Structure 1
């Protein structure tokens, strides 16, 4: 049986999102001693991440467990405002984690600014019924041609021309 035909194993990484790992990758991790030695630490950090999320659900969405060493928990916050809010919750978090069996004597917070990739704004797709277009066209033709109505006429002309352009592209 080849590695590609084996069913993928499911592991949870960061905030409980399932990620597929093929059997070949699992075999590689088991075979490589240096990487395999990291697996218990990763599993521990993931369990600690889940417990932190359970204690501070809405606030912890923007945070991550970085490290737990010598009883000191290091958390990463996405910005200074989140770090400040998290710092206020540290005594409560520490107490709740200790009640869950974690040996945590101190909590340290680091601000880890991540590069934000802005999503392009969606293009508005407004569908105006044909009867409305006809009514606007009649209004533009029949409106008095005065200085007071000049801006309204110009807006109607732009609206109708845009609609005609988008209508011809369909």
Structure 2
């Protein structure tokens, strides 16, 4: 016997719904929907007005009392954003945004895990070739590096004598 009621097998499958559609169903969410749409429009304008490295790391907040809050991922980006602040403010005003000032704040993002170190592998024949090359060289930093690399990538194949 299934733990689900018998009518569940006849229910229509649920489909993903857009946030705007869900927020548009009731009047209670109207203000929230307007805020979400405003932030989305601000993000589109910021992508067009800022260089790529800034627009990818800056998030708009709400406009409150004529002040738009911008959140930078770290302090160096916030400093750079302060350099372009006058131009950005005038461009936003030209696009019709009711902004008189910008407030730039730092909102650190979660640190992404560093990529895994490369795990390159060499074939035994390649390792043997490096080993043979290192033996043929005079003692030098290159000879030592090649010998270490050959040893790290496996046992050399016995050379035919």
Report the TM-score, using the length of structure 1 for normalisation: 0.65
Correspondence for 1:55: 49
Relative distance call for 1:141 and 1:106 in structure 2 (3 A) is closer
More strand by share: 1
Relative distance call for 1:138 and 1:108 in structure 2 (3 A) is closer
Correspondence for 1:2: 12
Relative distance call for 1:3 and 1:105 in structure 2 (3 A) is farther
Report the TM-score, using the length of structure 2 for normalisation: 0.68
1:121 matched to 2:111? The reply is no
In 2: Cα distance, 1:114 partner to 1:153 partner: 43
Q: Is the CA contact (8 Å cut-off) linking 1:73 and 1:106 kept in structure 2?
A: yes
What's the CA shift string for 1:72-99, capped at 9, x where partnerless? Answer: 1111011111111111211111111111
Correspondence for 1:37: 31
CA RMSD, Structure 1 to Structure 2 (Å): 3.5
Correspondence for 1:133: 127
Q: Which stretches in structure 1 are left out of the alignment for 5+ residues?
A: 7-21, 166-170
Correspondence for 1:66: 61
Length, aligned pairs only: 144
